[in-house]
Structure 1
Amino acid sequence: MAAQCTPAEPVELRVNLKKGDKYVQTMTTEQKVVQSLPQMGPGVPAGKQTQTSTVTITYTIECTDVDEEGTTIKLTYDRIQVEKEQSTAMDGSKSESPGRKTVYDSQKDENPTDPETIAYSVMIGNGFSVKLSPRAEVLDMLGVEEFLNRVYSGLKIPDTAEGREVKKMLHEQFGANTMKHMLSRSYLPYPEGKVAEGDSWKDTMDLGGAGFPLKVENTYTVDDLDSSEAVLMTEGKITSIEGQTMKIMSMELAYDIQGKQTGEQVIGLDKGVVVRSELKRTLKGETKVISMPQLSEEMVIPMEVETTITLETE
């Protein structure tokens, strides 16, 4: 007679770290962005620009305090590896023209000269703290401004109009919203009650800190459950946030983009954190250049984005 597996008992997903707990996570983001370039003037053909990037960030998480409100953790950057490449193919051309290429590894490149990689180098050994609720909701970000000030000082940004624009751009790239978004990959919001195999819950996440004014409406479903892990299947619908724009230096951009997110996230029940995950995002739509110096009318740039995000916990 075949043995029958008994379904695991429902569990309450909660952050369960103790003061002094420490672990290391490595997050890798692979992305490909393809933009269709409009004709910029007489004799200048339209074309296509492709940007590919792989960014791997390794950081240490340490639990520094636990109280009735939740858990405080400290995140410290250990290593950053970056590979970025850009190429352009003009209509009528059979070949692509290579553009800017960036390769950086904080363990190998001790004295970077590029402003972007200098910013990465200053991050190593530094970080910030986060207060989490028992359900892994971010209650507060602590020390982010101090962290950014260390990045600013490492870059030696002058106190000029241009320097202030650079600081503003860095604040958007490394500020509290971006860090909160990054943490959402390792701390997803847990439901109020217990869950069993087959149960689902929903959550909406703002991706503004990720570079686009977008929101993701996620559905998490418990696909497998045992005494040590809960395996969640994630499905999300991605849409633009109406009325929101993004400013980069002297440009103002708006987005009309739709997409989806799918993947698997595994929760370790002993500590209540994501121990490994893989998420895939696909986006398609338009970037609209609303304002830019010497721009006489709105420019529309069709684009497609493919992103894969993996997380491993040691």
Structure 2
Amino acid sequence: MKSPFVFGPALALALGSISTAQDPLMLKLSLQPGSAYIYIMDMNQTNVQTVDGEQQKLDQEMLLVWNYDVLERGKNQVMVVKLTYKRVKISQNYGHEIAEYDSDNPPDYIDPSMRGMASLPGTELIVRLTPTGEVLGIQGVDKMLDKMIAALELPDSPQRDQVVQNLRTQFGAGAVEQSLEQITSFYPGEPVSVGDRWKDTTEAISGFPMEIISEYELKSREGGRAMIDVTSELFSDPQDPMAMGPLTMAYDVSGSQTGVITVEEDTGLPIKSEISLEFAGDVDVAGVPNEKSQNWPISASGSVVVTFERQSR
């Protein structure tokens, strides 16, 4: 729920210097039919946990590329966008073992952990978006999930059922909707001027549930682009554990995010968003047969860079 608030107008506005001041900026999604973009998400994260005195480290890198084509703009300025997975590149380094996949240069053998993601290139999603960035509907998610599940080639078993359930949580309509709405989650909901700040609280459902409290500041405007600083606090709820088959995993972690978002003012798209994050805490695992619950420390740090590149038609 967005709760914009202003910490004070610029001095020029306070003095009524209209000739040099910019009009307040109203950020909204305004995409023209026929326009096309390349949507790129580049993520890296280092995860560390210490179990029974042994440190375990996992370095992850993921590059996702989509074609982002604006098909229609209709009643109430609702836009219809076609998202097509163009490229998937993944690397997981456990230290003693490395698994990699790149759809632009696919290997002869695909590691089982990569097969679901490897099925994504060519998949299309049709999304209806409002000017506030709200997702009104998505078509194609079930077909995408069916492709991912088939690519895993898992025999019928309780383990398969759990894997499928996890996939539907991580890549289902709710998760896709949330990831698309996060692209424009920085919108203040009212006109803002340079120096103004506003807050927003969201919940992440992918991975383990976390509450994200963000504060934004419009730092500058130049050449049709707006620069926005963001700082966030992250919190998990240890009373809301994840279920993985017979196991429950309760995370008690907190952390922060900082970054800069560069916005194209006429479209409202974040043409570049760079966010760094870190969090640390503990996880409590229960449900292992004939064993007591276990608790160990975990931490993570990384970055996410999102870009939109306009394509000529």
TM over 0.5: yes
- Match 2:88 to one of 80, 85, 103: 80
Task: Please give the alpha-carbon distance, in whole angstroms, between the structure 1 residues aligned to 2:183 and 2:23.
Answer: 24
- Paired with 2:254 and 2:209, the residues of 1 have a C-alpha distance of 11
Deviation at 1:171, TM superposition (A): 1.4
- Cα separation, 1, equivalents of 2:255 and 2:93: 24
Instruction: Give how far 1:227 is off.
Output: 4.5
Aligned partner (choices 246, 258, 262) of residue 262 of structure 1: 258
Aligned to 1:66: 73
The one-letter amino acid of 1:246's match is: M
Matched, 1:132 2:122: no
CA distance in 2, matches of 1:226, 1:158: 57
Query: More displaced, 161-170 or 265-274?
Result: 161-170
Shift of 1:185: 4.8
Which residue is 2:203 aligned to? 206
1:214-234, Cα deviation, whole Å (9 max, x unpaired): 110111111111351111101
Map of 1:312 onto structure 2: 307
Secondary structure of the structure 2 residue equivalent to 1:149: helix
Letter in 2 for 1:17: L
Tell which has more relative contact order, 1 or 2 (C-alpha 8 A, sep 6+).
2
Aligned-pair identity (%):
25
Pick closer, same or farther for the CA change 1:293–1:128 going to 2, 3 Å.
farther
Q: How does 1:106-145 map to 2 (within 5 A)?
A: 106-109=103-106, 111-145=108-142
Q: Would the alpha carbon gap of residues 111 and 8 (structure 1) be closer, same or farther in structure 2, given more than 3 Å must change?
A: farther
Q: Quick check: 70-79 or 135-144, which moved more? A: 135-144
Supply the distance in 1 between the matched residues of 2:242 and 2:87 (Cα, whole angstroms): 29
Q: How do 1:186-201 residues align onto structure 2 when only pairs under 5 Å count?
A: 186-201=183-198
Do the aligned partners of residues 281 and 183 (structure 1) sit closer, same or farther apart at CA in structure 2, a change above 3 Å counting? same
Distance 1:128 1:292 in 2: 39
Cα distance in 2, alignment partners of residues 199 and 139 from structure 1: 29
Structure 2: segments with no counterpart, 5+ residues: 1-16
RMSD (Å) for aligned C-alpha atoms: 2.1
Q: What is the rounded CA distance, in whole Å, between the counterparts of 1:290 and 1:267 in structure 2?
A: 44
Q: State the shift of 1:144 in Å.
A: 1.2
Q: Deviations over 1:65-95 (max 9, x none)?
A: 32234222221111111111114xxxxxxxx
Contact 2:101 2:110 in 1 (8 A): no
Summarize deviations over 1:148-187 as a string: whole Å, max 9, x none: 1122223334443332222112112222233234324532
Q: Is the 8 A contact 1:26 1:56 kept in 2?
A: yes
**Counterpart among 100, 103, 111 of residue 103 in structure 1:** 100
- Kindly provide the amino acid, as one letter, of the partner of residue 60 in structure 2: S
C-alpha deviation, 1:189, in angstroms: 4.5
3-state SS of 1:216 partner: strand
Partner SS state of residue 32, structure 2: coil
CA distance in 1, matches of 2:299, 2:135: 30
The letter for the 1-side match of 2:35 is D
Q: In the TM superposition, what whole-angstrom CA distance separates every residue of 1:90-110 from its partner, at most 9, and x where no partner exists?
A: xxxxxxxx2x32111111115
Count of residues in correspondence between the two structures: 291
Q: 2:34 aligns with which of 20, 25, 28?
A: 20
Q: 1:260 Cα shift?
A: 0.8
